Amino acid sequence: MSIDTDKKAFERIVAAKKINWPQILDGNFGSGEVARLFNLRGTPLLYLIDREGKISAKSHSAETIKPLLEAMVQH
């Protein structure tokens, strides 16, 4: 999810980075409905969603999430 307000810049970054998972543009610099729903206070904020659709972990660091993701994939 991006809290950026510039839709074209957001689309360019997604294309340039070849991000192929779902992206959400808040467009309200963090004050939009989705940002409020997830209590977003800054970026990046990473969510690890389990197979049941529940939030398994949340972190500002990919290094923190990585071992949890690897363990989840192995099961």
If you average pLDDT over residues 6-22, what whole number do you get? 90
In the chain, the number of structural domains is 2
User: Are 55 and 35 in a shared domain?
Assistant: no
**Using H for helix, E for strand and C for coil, what is the string for 29-70?**
CCCCHHHHHCCCCCCCCEEEECCCCCEEEEECCHHHHHHHHH
User: Are 1 and 26 in a shared domain?
Assistant: yes
What digits encode the pLDDT tens for the residues 24-42? 887 777 678 877 887 777 7
Is 19's pLDDT higher than 90?
no
What digits encode the pLDDT tens for the residues 37-63? 877 777 777 888 988 999 999 888 888
User: Are 50 and 19 in a shared domain?
Assistant: no
Beta carbons within 10 angstroms of residue 9's beta carbon: 12
How many whole angstroms from its chain centre is CA 34? 11
| pTM of this structure | 0.53
pLDDT of residue 36: 82
Domain assignment of residue 68, given as a range: 44-75
